[in-house]
Amino acid sequence: MSTARRRLTSLAGVGGLVAAAAVFAAPAQAGGWTQVARADHGYVFACKTAVNSAYGPLWRVTTFMSNYYSDHGHTGGVTVRRYDPYSGPVIHRWNVTLGPGQTSGYGTVYLSRLLPDTLTAGAGELNGEGAGGDVSMSSVAYC
């Protein structure tokens, strides 16, 4: 076998290994968490999954709050409203209050992918001060 042919064969083999690694690594890297609200060191995270149901196509949004690095309590959560993000009827809600150094369990809310459902998220201090707002589903990572 000539030197040029050996190099070509080696390059093809390495290319195949790199391609295989990319294919097998993709699912592990596909998921992630998006920070959707924050107050000091209280963070609300979310990820989404497209699901079909008897109600039609939905987004299943999995969420949790981390207050792990905080020295005081925080509250946070997500709300799904229909038609208007601030005054429309509440479809689903998940809220939690955490003490310093705590992390919540997972919560789940659902949004219609056909109807005008909006996800809002917020986080705040225990005295009521905080921040929040609309969360674009296109900005939320897939689980």
**Average pLDDT estimate for 35-53:** 96
Residue range 52-77: mean pLDDT, rounded: 96
Range of the domain at 36: 31-139
44 and 87 co-located in one domain: yes
> Are 65 and 8 members of one domain?
no
In a shared domain, residues 88 and 99: yes
Domain count across the chain: 2
Same domain flag for 81 and 113 = yes
Average the pLDDT over 102-129 and give the result.
96
Looking at the structure, tell me whether residues 102 and 134 fall in a common domain. yes
Residues 117, 129 within the same domain: yes
Closest C-alpha to 63, from 40, 80, 51, 84: 80
Same domain, yes or no: 46 and 95: yes
Query: Do 67 and 100 touch, CB atoms closer than 8 A?
Result: yes
pLDDT band at 86 (very low <50, low <70, confident <90, very high): confident
